């Protein structure tokens, strides 16, 4: 079995970590050269990526192709919102999809992701057009009212008119033009699914509220898929950066005759009903959609013989956030003691491996939980996966994919090479999600620092991870690859 990946962009979590998951599973994987993929300041090279993918299908006849289509259509996730390409140019790039299965005598199964253009409730234009720094929250509110109005909810005409008046007409028109272009492309993708040119498609939806034009588009796309008889081949749910990993996990589960037996537990009684930040739904709804997307069928019987158990660490009623946004409540330090006790109790009693999804906070691990885990190496050894970064969807999707890869490896003979990849994966997650996101990031005050300074700040925490876990990681290099504090690269260098 061989996979080909077209990542979303060149960030470590979208470019490197999916490759590590494939190494854990023991599946040979081909990825495009780093320089072909997009960054924060430069789009990917769609023509070069398309040419590379075509050559790989012709020459290597891979079993599975995983394509983050934003890279091939727009130049990446960020450029899908910022790019000025015309609608006709975008639709012409889509035509390449119809050629993929014709390039090999053994047509690959095609798993694809395409984003629904987000609507962020902030004034941060880092990943948006420049006018977001002036009109971001106004566009979010206007978008919310437009969605409500379209569904028949009572929206005062004066409220909608007032919301529109707060945004320059030229900005409104440019924003809607970009949305229309992307929505038309997404509708075209459904035709490729209907023709069998895409076997499974995810419309990912990052940074969303409960209402908005993005949610309205999602509803329309799901309805179109249902009306076309392809609903089983199309999903849409909150998330984005983790979707490639989810698709890899789904392919691993579909590739064999055996499916794992797994059960789910939350560490707080009402945790599943807690609102999930940046997603417009509850934590429980996110977990349900992520498990469905990867293809897991969960057992309700915790006493049954399980291949692994999924544990979702969450709090009662609130989800914290290690990032303090202007105009929002400070949620950086919450009392998680009871949930941590419950999580440790579950781990102590577990008779099978555990996939641990740490969603007590957005944008980083629960420091109280990790502190307890690092005191208990015997509990760390029970983990087949851990994640605690960014949104609930990012965390759960990533954790499930790594856990499924480890299960797949055990099923097919867990080798020393795969164990090394697994230890690297676990070290990276704790170093990124706890050491950096929870401990170091706030010390930077939003300013990127040189690699040497970053390494100095990270060193004591990474040393603590290594000493507690016993994971054999020879040498580590850290950097801020996009020269911002949102993400870190933890690279195993030997």
237 & 138 share domain: yes
Q: What is the pLDDT of residue 43?
A: 96
SS3 state at 397: helix
Residue 448 included in any domain = no
Query: Could you tell me what percent of the chain has a pLDDT over 70?
Result: 100
Residue 450 included in any domain = no
331 & 264 share domain: yes
Residue 305 domain boundaries: 260-440
CA-to-CA distance for 315 and 349, rounded, in angstroms?
A: 20
178 & 41 share domain: yes
Residue 90 included in any domain = yes
Residue 132's pLDDT band, with cuts at 50, 70 and 90, is very high
199 & 290 share domain: no
DSSP letter (8 states) at residue 108: P
242 & 287 share domain: no
288 & 144 share domain: no
pTM of the model: 0.96
Does residue 328 surpass a pLDDT of 80? no
SS3 state at 475: coil
333 & 308 share domain: yes
59 & 183 share domain: yes
Over residues 391-429, the pLDDT tens digits come to 999 999 999 999 999 999 999 999 999 999 999 999 999
291 & 384 share domain: yes
Residue 419 included in any domain = yes
How big is the chain, counted in residues? 494
Q: Using the 3D structure, point to which of 220, 253, 286 is the last residue of a domain.
A: 253
Q: What are phi and psi of 250, to 5 degrees?
A: -60, -45
Q: What is the pLDDT of residue 302?
A: 60
Nearest Cα to 179, choosing from 222, 212, 134?
212
Q: 383: which strand partners?
A: 354
CA-to-CA distance for 187 and 171, rounded, in angstroms?
A: 24
Among 3-17, 198-212, 216-230, 350-364, the minimum mean pLDDT is found in 198-212
Over residues 422-438, the pLDDT tens digits come to 999 999 999 999 999 99
To the nearest 10 degrees (0 to 180), the angle between helices 87-94 and 169-194 is 20
Assigned token pair, 129: 């057009």
366 & 239 share domain: no
Residue 493's pLDDT band, with cuts at 50, 70 and 90, is confident
Q: What is the pLDDT of residue 151?
A: 86
To the nearest 10 degrees (0 to 180), the angle between helices 157-165 and 132-150 is 160
Helices (H), 367-471: 367-374, 377-380, 392-411, 416-430, 451-469
Q: Using the 3D structure, point to which of 253, 272, 291 is the last residue of a domain.
A: 253
Over residues 259-306, the pLDDT tens digits come to 999 999 999 999 999 999 999 899 999 999 999 999 999 987 766 789
CA-to-CA distance for 359 and 315, rounded, in angstroms?
A: 8
For the chain, how many structural domains are there in total? 2
Mean pLDDT of 184-194: 98
CA-to-CA distance for 388 and 365, rounded, in angstroms?
A: 5
CA-to-CA distance for 213 and 211, rounded, in angstroms?
A: 7
Contacts of 145 (CB under 8 A, 6+ apart): 155, 159, 160, 163
Over residues 152-167, the pLDDT tens digits come to 888 888 999 999 999 9
247 & 98 share domain: yes
236 & 319 share domain: no
Does residue 341 surpass a pLDDT of 90? yes
């Amino acid at each position: 079995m061989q996979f080909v990946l077209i990542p979303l962009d060149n960030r470590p979590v979208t470019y490197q970590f999916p490759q590590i998951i494939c190494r854990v599973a023991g599946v040979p994987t081909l990825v495009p050269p780093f320089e072909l993929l997009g960054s924060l300041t430069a789009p990917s090279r769609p023509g070069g990526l398309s040419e590379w993918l075509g050559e790989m299908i012709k020459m290597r006849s891979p079993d599975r192709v995983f394509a983050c289509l934003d890279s091939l259509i727009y130049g990446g996730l960020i450029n899908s919102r910022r790019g000025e390409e015309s609608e006709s140019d975008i639709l012409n790039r889509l035509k390449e999809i119809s050629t993929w299965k014709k390039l090999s005598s053994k047509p690959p199964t095609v798993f694809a992701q395409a984003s629904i253009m987000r609507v962020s409730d902030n004034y941060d234009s880092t990943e948006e057009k420049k006018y977001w720094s002036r009109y971001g929250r106004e566009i979010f509110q206007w978008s919310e009212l437009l969605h409500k109005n379209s569904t028949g909810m009572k929206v005062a005409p004066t409220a909608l008119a007032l919301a529109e008046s707060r945004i320059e007409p030229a900005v409104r028109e440019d924003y809607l033009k970009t949305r229309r272009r992307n929505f038309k492309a997404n509708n075209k993708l459904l035709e490729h699914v209907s023709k069998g040119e895409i076997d499974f498609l995810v419309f990912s939806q990052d940074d969303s509220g409960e209402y908005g034009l993005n949610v309205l588009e999602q509803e329309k796309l799901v309805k179109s898929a249902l009306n076309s008889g392809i609903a089983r081949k199309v999903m849409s749910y909150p998330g984005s950066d983790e979707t490639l990993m989810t698709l890899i996990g789904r392919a691993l589960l579909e590739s064999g005759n055996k499916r794992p037996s797994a059960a789910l537990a939350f560490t707080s009684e009402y945790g599943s009903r807690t609102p999930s930040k940046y997603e417009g739904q509850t934590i429980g709804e996110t977990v349900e959609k992520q498990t469905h997307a990867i293809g897991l069928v969960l057992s309700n019987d915790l006493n049954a013989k399980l291949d692994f158990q999924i544990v979702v660490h969450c709090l009662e009623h609130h989800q914290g956030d290690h990032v303090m946004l202007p105009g929002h409540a400070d949620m950086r330090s919450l009392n998680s003691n009871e949930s941590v006790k419950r999580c440790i109790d579950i781990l102590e009693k577990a008779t099978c491996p555990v996939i641990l999804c740490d969603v007590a906070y957005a944008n980083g691990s629960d420091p109280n939980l990790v502190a307890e885990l690092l005191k208990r190496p015997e509990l760390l050894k029970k983990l087949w996966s851990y994640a605690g970064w960014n949104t609930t969807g990012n965390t759960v999707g990533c954790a499930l994919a790594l856990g499924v890869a480890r299960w797949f490896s055990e099923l097919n003979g867990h080798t020393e090479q795969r164990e090394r990849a697994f230890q690297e994966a676990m070290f990276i997650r704790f170093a990124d999600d706890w050491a950096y996101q929870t401990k170091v990031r706030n010390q930077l005050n939003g300013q990127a620092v040189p690699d040497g300074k970053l390494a100095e700040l990270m060193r004591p925490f990474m040393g603590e991870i290594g000493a507690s876990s016993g994971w054999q990681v020879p040498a580590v290099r850290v950097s801020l690859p996009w020269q911002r504090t949102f993400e870190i690269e933890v690279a195993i260098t030997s």
